[in-house]
Amino acid sequence: MSRTRTPIGRQVESDTVNVGEFRFESGEVITDMQVAYEAYGEFTGENAVLVCHGLTGSQHVAGRGTDSGVSGQASAWWSDIVGPGKAIDTNEYYVVCVNVPGSCYGTSGPASEGPDGEPWGTDFPPVTVGDWTRAQRLLLDHIGIGRLHAVVGGSVGGMNALDWAVQYPDDLDRLVVVASAARLDPQCLGLDAIARRAITTDPNWNGGDYYGEDNPNPEQGLGLARQIGHLMYLSKDSMDRKFGRRSAGRGGRGDAYPADPAAMFFPYREVESYLDYQAEKFADRFDANSYLYLTRAMDDYDLAEGYESDAAALSAFEGEALLLSFTGDWHFTTEQSESVAEAFRSVDVPVAHHVVESDHGHDAFLVEPEKVGPPLDAFLIAGVEGRAVTDTASDGGEPDSETDFAPVHSSLFSR
């Protein structure tokens, strides 16, 4: 390869762009939508890859050791996967990651400045995953990217990626949906609803108006919301391994949350210590109103909305799709990914559903790069025929007794 390789530090673009007037799915309009993004690598015209971040992630997807200026995100969220020589190789691809509307890392959201010079707060329009996709499209237009080689997203970022195949089916060749689903199940909807109530019942939330210097942030409520979220990302097995029932020692008890005197008779366990630490760390880096807005966008997302079925929604997509799921993930289950795979198969989109054996829970897509990288890398290069890519329809991964006798799905790969 003749392309000049430059050190990662010199390849990072980090900017915030005013894409002008933006009409939200709700019908509300803001006049100056700011969109923050980072980009890595060199654009050759055909090598752009958009990476969609998860719920509380940011545009700072890669670039270990570089200071992005993104609060609390000094360590990029997917630097094990995105970077020079990594699965999404920034020596090969021009990788763009965009902070979504409603978030708090530079793109317009509740904490950013409204028309009156004060933070929007809860006057910011409601945000949907569809709004994220359209803001990303505007940003890409602005920086001169038309067609994308691929859109890749994990968790709710995977919903965002699916939405690309629905809203802009001609704009991408390949779609990678990691640990995601066509819609949340009611168990997760319930947990998200409880998390939001933990925020809105914190008196410091104050109806969403807490941005003044004299006002304390709703740290306890936001921390509780994060603790609920964290448990959704872990599995029983990973928690057994990480914490067991071990005591963190009485000295370890933090002061983030009040307790009654009787609590002192019982151990302060490692699992509590971990959750309390995560709560404090998160409250320092994330905006409580953004957490309300983004969880609602996630809860609201439904691939089939406006269509007769998931398959109908995906039928205009002419590229190839990879679904990655993890056996220990109860937030976004392998069954949910299989259901999306079936939808693709039914409309003759070449798809592979690669199931990763893991007991890490939803976190697996972040913490097991050695299992995520190879199929992702291979798919970006060679599509569903990539060497490290497996598929449930051909490997018997689905507990479908029919497949033992008749490979009923294999013909669906021919278009």
Q: Mark the binding-site residues for substrate, compressed into ranges.
A: 226, 363
9: tokens are 């530090």
Q: Among 153, 154, 208, 383, indicate the residue that binds its own copies (CB under 8 A).
A: 208
Q: Is 255 a catalytic residue?
A: no
Using CB under 8 A as the binding rule, whether residue 236 contacts its own copies is answered as yes
Query: Is the CB of residue 139 less than 8 Å from the CB of residue 19?
Result: yes
Q: Interaction with its own copies in 252-281: which residues (CB under 8 A)?
A: 257-263, 265-267, 269, 271-272, 275
253: tokens are 């008890």
Between 164 and 293, whose beta carbon lies closer to its own copies?
293
Between 144 and 261, whose beta carbon lies closer to its own copies?
261
Using CB under 8 A as the binding rule, whether residue 302 contacts its own copies is answered as yes
- Shortest Å, Cβ 286 to its own copies: 16
Using CB under 8 A as the binding rule, whether residue 234 contacts its own copies is answered as yes
Q: Is 404 a catalytic residue?
A: no
- Shortest Å, Cβ 293 to its own copies: 6
Q: φ and ψ at 151, to 5 degrees? A: -120, 130
User: The tokens 């010199």 sit on which residue?
Assistant: 10
Between 61 and 313, whose beta carbon lies closer to its own copies?
313
Using CB under 8 A as the binding rule, whether residue 299 contacts its own copies is answered as yes
Q: Among 197, 250, 281, 387, indicate the residue that binds its own copies (CB under 8 A).
A: 197
- Shortest Å, Cβ 215 to its own copies: 16
User: Looking at 58, 155, 238, 325, which residue is catalytic?
Assistant: 155
Q: Among 196, 345, 353, 371, indicate the residue that binds its own copies (CB under 8 A).
A: 196
Q: Among 17, 296, 309, 339, indicate the residue that binds its own copies (CB under 8 A).
A: 296
- Shortest Å, Cβ 244 to its own copies: 6
Residues annotated within the binding site are 226, 363
User: Looking at 89, 163, 287, 329, which residue is catalytic?
Assistant: 329
Using CB under 8 A as the binding rule, whether residue 337 contacts its own copies is answered as no
- Shortest Å, Cβ 281 to its own copies: 16
- Shortest Å, Cβ 402 to its own copies: 22
Q: Is 329 a catalytic residue?
A: yes
Between 181 and 341, whose beta carbon lies closer to its own copies?
181
- Shortest Å, Cβ 368 to its own copies: 19
Q: How many CB atoms lie within 10 A of CB 395?
A: 13
Using CB under 8 A as the binding rule, whether residue 186 contacts its own copies is answered as yes
Strands across the sheet with 148-154, in order? 13-18, 34-40, 94-98, 48-52, 148-154, 172-178, 320-326, 351-356
Quick one: three-class SS letters along the chain?
A: CCCCCCCHHHHCEEEEEECCCEECCCCCEECCCEEEEEEECCCCCCCEEEEECCCCCCCCCCCCCCCCCCCCCCCCCCCCCEECCCCEECCCCEEEEECCCCCCCCCCCCCCECCCCCECHHHCCCCCHHHHHHHHHHHHHHCCCCCEEEEEEECHHHHHHHHHHHHCCCCEEEEEEECCCCECCHHHHHHHHHHHHHHHCCHHHHHHCCCCCCCCCCHHHHHHHHHHHHHHHCCHHHHHHHCCCCECCHHHCCCCCCCCHHHHHCCCEHHHHHHHHHHHHHHHHCCHHHHHHHHHHHHHCECCCCCCCHHHHHCCCCCEEEEEEECCCCCCCHHHHHHHHHHHHHCCCCEEEEEECCCCHHHHHHHCHHHHHHHHHHHHHHHHHCCCCCCHHHHCCCCCCHHHHCCCCHHHHCC
User: Looking at 149, 331, 353, 362, which residue is catalytic?
Assistant: 362
Q: Among 77, 78, 124, 379, indicate the residue that binds its own copies (CB under 8 A).
A: 124
* Residue 17-56 contact track with its own copies, rule CB under 8 A, x = bound: ---------x------------------------------
Give catalytic residues, as residue numbers. Answer: 155, 329, 362
Interface with its own copies (CB under 8 A)? 26, 122-127, 183-187, 189-191, 193-194, 196-198, 200-203, 205, 207-208, 220-221, 224, 227-228, 231, 234-236, 239-240, 242-245, 257-263, 265-267, 269, 271-272, 275, 289, 292-293, 296, 299-300, 302, 330
